[in-house]
Chains A and B, each alone.
Chain A
Amino acid sequence: MSTTTTTPAAGTMAKPAAAGTGRIHPARRKHLTPGRLGVYALLITSAAFFLLPLYVMVATSLKPMEEIRLGNLFSLPLHATVEPWIQAWSSACTGLECRGIQVGFWNSVKIVVPSTVISIFFGALNGYALSFWRVKWAGWFFGILMFGAFVPYQVMMYPLVRSLAAVDLFGTLAGIVLIHTVFGMPVMTLLFRNYYAGVPGELFKAARIDGGGFWRIFFQLMLPMSLPIIVVAVIMQLTNIWNDFILGLVFAGRENLPMTVQLNNVINTTTGERLYNVNMAATILTSMVPLVIYLVSGRWFVRGIAAGAVKG
């Protein structure tokens, strides 16, 4: 996102225009002043801090256990092997079963896809209704919804558990999808409402004059126009729901435990020697989906943060 203007580093000033010639000299090209060196130094140090765990994760996951026991955390693998990865995927023990973390992977997929689709649908619908149609009580409810986004899950958890149990949805896939939809509603609604606020009202008026009703205008006009924000919403929901731990832990039920929960089980509930390489491999596998989304989506990801950060 850098523009083409150049600004001199701290401590240098651009040469003033040569008197009489009327020509303004372009700003001196950045050269390495102490100030500029310091900037790069700090940035590179910080980058190292941020990248170190990633390196350690990958390196550890490719080492056989003999190397790990030697205790050289930062060394490159001498005899790199993908055995830990295979083990993590297909035979690691997650509690009672030892079928590997692939179980968690598919569970997460089963949870994330419907949750994302449904929560985005309702977010768009709510945002659309709130932006273009006058419903008397809507403002108040929207306000409470926004406030609700800040309420800690623990406050709502027990009543939700009892309610879901009462309708036989506790510990089911439908139950966890419902929970994710409900908890995703505030941010999704806000996202779309802000987006639709930027759509010219005249478009809506023209559609009304053409005879469009509530649903037709939504499906044939507004949704197709919402592609950019839908992309942002998809990225946000995919990442957040995939990375969720606490809701999956409580509501998903033993057959549907998401990958994050399985990961924790693999690593923190082991008997006997801890297989650190397998653990790290499992961690990478769990993080891979959101990391790939992040790397691929780049700017859209940041847009999602900005949109989610603009609350109220």
Chain B
Amino acid sequence: MSNVTIEDLDIRLSGIDIISKLNLDVAEGEFLVLLGPSGCGKSTLLHSIAGLIDVHDGRMAIGGNDVTWADPKDRGIGMVFQSYALYPTMTVEKNMSFGPRIAGIDKAEIQKRVDRAAKMLHLTELLHRKPAQLSGGQRQRVAIGRALVRDAGVFLFDEPLSNLDAKLRSELRRELKQLHKELGATMIYVTHDQVEAMTLASRIAVMKQGKIQQIDTPGNVYARPVNMFVAGFLGAPSMNFVEGRLEAANGGVHFVSPTLRIEVTSYPFAVPPQHGASAVLGVRPEHITLSPDGTHAAGSALVSLVEPMGSNQVVWLDAQGVSLAVDADAQFTPALDRKIGFVIEPAHVSLFDKQTQERL
């Protein structure tokens, strides 16, 4: 298994800078997810790691070898595409052995590798079938098998689950996670689906417009997002944002807005807060609870919509024009168009600077 080191990467396509001065270190055996909206450069980055796109400047090393200009076949990588890209006229066995055959590896060795990969991926009975005769899950495994047989040091995944229906998607997601556990392989995975990112990753790199916004464990990215973009990207329904001011007085800090007031004295400010500084409060729907009788309420608002989800429900509040989503218990359904109080746990809030959108 190999690690990947990227230094000061510049990628330019059709004259436009897609990625500039990107630095990334992927540890051995890590499952790194590149997460972001369309056009953020995650696919471009993946393709350049694969060697399918030329870099403009920078350095890239896989397993300690400089591969900045190396051909895809010399990088020790395997890639799984969105459509799996299995060669339609070849059997599973031929698909998997295509690469090693080109590399001129001894036939016996190829057979050994194919058998080993097939066993690991439960493909042994399917070796003589053509891709058209395989199910979605089987095709994914063959695509992975292709990379396995090449003794790849790094496995690259380009949104492999995007084309599938929801049920198959969660099934294959679990298979993939299981596979990572068994192989201990270094995997770099591109997706726009934050659920996939959260469940599969050992670390998530959230990208926007060619830059990595934050790279950390799923838990940290979720709980302590570094800016409003990351905060809003993860979690569904997404984080609630309320604009307001900070009041620092008598040793206590409060966040105040027309609709709510909450004490944030124990918030881990990077820099001591200035009194009157404008800020944006971010709080996730599951960290707001409804308080029908108004006890400990940070504020109160009108119930505008209730979305039952079965095990829970999402209650939408209208606080003087500001929409708040609350992840509430299914037991108590609040009356529509009536005011109700809500409680916010200060330990779980995030505060952002209104101008820079950075975490305070």
Chain A interface residues toward B at CB < 8 A: 200, 202-203, 205-212, 216, 220-221, 224-225
Known contacts A205-B52, A206-B146; A211/B102 CB under 8 A: yes
Distance from B12 Cβ to chain A, minimum over Cβ atoms (Å): 15
Given contact pairs A207-B87, A211-B71, a sample of 15 additional A-B residue pairs in the complex whose CB atoms are under 8 Å apart? A202-B81, A202-B82, A203-B87, A205-B50, A206-B87, A208-B52, A208-B72, A209-B72, A209-B79, A209-B99, A210-B98, A210-B150, A211-B73, A211-B102, A216-B102
A210 touches B102 (CB 8 A): yes
Interface digits, B74-88 against A, CB 8 Å rule (1 contact, 0 not)?
Answer: 000111011101111
Is A212 a contact partner of B102 (Cβ separation < 8 A)? Answer: yes
Confirm or deny: B266 has a beta carbon within 8 angstroms of a beta carbon on chain A: no
Query: DSSP class of A's interface residues: helix, strand, loop or mixed?
Result: helix
Q: Contact: B85 with A206, CB < 8 Å? A: yes
Chain A residue at minimal CB-CB distance from B82? A202
Across the interface, which residues of A come within 8 angstroms of B99, CB to CB?
A: 209-211
Please measure, in the bound complex, the distance between the C-alpha atom of A205 and the C-alpha atom of B98, giving whole angstroms: 13
Min C-beta distance of B185 to chain A, whole Å: 16
A6 to B71, CA, bound (A): 58
State the Cβ distance, B261 to closest chain A Cβ, in Å: 54
Question: B355 interface residue, CB < 8 Å from A?
Answer: no
Bound together, the chains give a CA A300 to CA B98 distance in angstroms of 32
List chain A residues, Cβ under 8 A from B102: 210-212, 216
Contacts of A208 in B (CB 8 A): 52, 72-73
Measured between C-beta atoms, what is the minimum distance from A208 to chain B in Å? 5
Q: Would you call A205 and B85 a contact (CB within 8 A)?
A: yes
Contact A202 B83 (CB under 8 A): yes
Contacts of B51 in A (CB 8 A): 209
B103 within 8 A of A: yes
Q: Are A225 and B81 in contact (CB under 8 A)?
A: no
User: Which residue of A200, A206, A211, A220 contacts B79 across the interface (Cβ within 8 Å)?
Assistant: A206
Give the CA-CA distance A203 to B79 in the complex, in Å.
11
Residue B89, interface by CB 8 Å: yes
Question: Across chains A and B, which 6 residue pairs bring their CB atoms closest together, nearest first?
Answer: A211-B73, A210-B99, A206-B85, A202-B85, A202-B81, A224-B89
Residue numbers in A under 8 Å from B98 (CB-CB): 207, 210, 212, 220
- Contact residues in A for B86 (Cβ distance below 8 Å): 206
- Cα separation A300 to B73 with both chains bound (whole Å): 39
The verdict on A225 contacting B83 (CB below 8 Å), with A205-B52, A208-B52, A212-B102 known, is: no
Among residues 19 to 77 in chain B, which have CB atoms less than 8 Å away from a CB atom of chain A?
50-52, 71-73, 77
Question: Considering the chains assembled together, what is the distance between the CA atoms of A100 and B253 in angstroms?
Answer: 109
* CB closest residue in chain B, given A199: B88
Chain B, interface SS category: loop
Q: Which of B51, B78, B102, B146: most chain A Cβ within 10 A? A: B102
Q: Which residue of B lies closest to A209 (CB)?
A: B72
A200: contacting residue among B78, B85, B89, CB under 8 A:
B85
In whole angstroms, how far apart are the Cα atoms of A206 and B90 in the complex? Answer: 14
Q: Are B146 and A203 interface neighbours, CB within 8 A?
A: no
For B80, the closest partner residue in chain A by CB is: A206
Are the C-beta atoms of B85 and A225 separated by less than 8 Å?
Answer: no
Shortest Cβ gap from A228 to chain B (Å): 12
Nearest CB to that of A213 among chain B residues? Answer: B102
Most buried by B among A206, A207, A220, A221: A206
| Chain B neighbourhood of A203, CB < 8 A | 85, 87-88
Residues of A within 8 A of B78 (CB): 209
Give Cα distance in the complex from A205 to B80, angstroms.
10
Q: Which residues of A contact B79 (CB under 8 A)?
A: 205-206, 209
Closest chain-A Cβ to B97's Cβ sits at a distance in Å of 10
22 A-B residue pairs with Cβ-Cβ distance under 8 Å, sorted by A, are A200-B85, A202-B83, A202-B85, A203-B85, A205-B50, A205-B85, A206-B87, A207-B87, A208-B52, A208-B72, A208-B73, A209-B52, A209-B72, A209-B78, A210-B73, A211-B71, A211-B102, A212-B98, A220-B98, A221-B87, A221-B89, A225-B89
Question: How far, in angstroms, from A181 to B85 measured CA to CA in the complex?
Answer: 34
Give, as a whole number of angstroms, the nearest-CB distance from B47 to chain A. Answer: 8
A205 and B81: CB pair below 8 A? yes
Contact residues in B for A202 (Cβ distance below 8 Å): 81-83, 85
A205: which B residues are within 8 A, CB to CB? 50, 52, 79, 81, 85
Within the complex, what minimum Cβ distance (angstroms) separates A222 from chain B? 10
Cα separation A225 to B89 with both chains bound (whole Å):
6
Who on chain B is nearest to A220 by CB?
Answer: B98
B146 contact set on A, CB distance < 8 A: 206, 210
B88 with A225: CB separation less than 8 A: yes
Rounded to whole Å, the gap between the CB of A245 and the closest CB of chain B is 39
Which chain A positions have C-beta within 8 A of B81? 202, 205-206
B77 touches A209 (CB 8 A): yes
Tell me which residues across on chain B come within 8 A of A224, comparing CB atoms: 89
Closest beta carbon of chain B to A200's beta carbon, Å? 6
Q: What 0/1 pattern do residues 133 to 164 of B give for CB contact below 8 A with A?
A: 00000000000001000100000000000000
**Assembled-state Cα–Cα distance A285/B146 (Å):** 54
Which residues in B have their C-beta under 8 angstroms from that of A200? 83, 85
Tell me which of B73, B82, B83, B88 contacts A209 (CB under 8 A): B73
Smallest beta-carbon distance B91→chain A, Å: 12
CA distance A224 to B95 in the complex (A): 14
**Residue among A210, A216, A221 with most chain B CB within 10 A:** A210
Alpha-carbon distance between A262 and B85 when the two chains are bound, in angstroms: 52
Q: How far is the CB of B139 from chain A (nearest CB, A)?
A: 12
CA distance A205 to B158 in the complex (A): 12
Once bound together, how far apart are the Cα atoms of A122 and B167, in whole Å?
A: 46
Contacts of A221 in B (CB 8 A): 87, 89
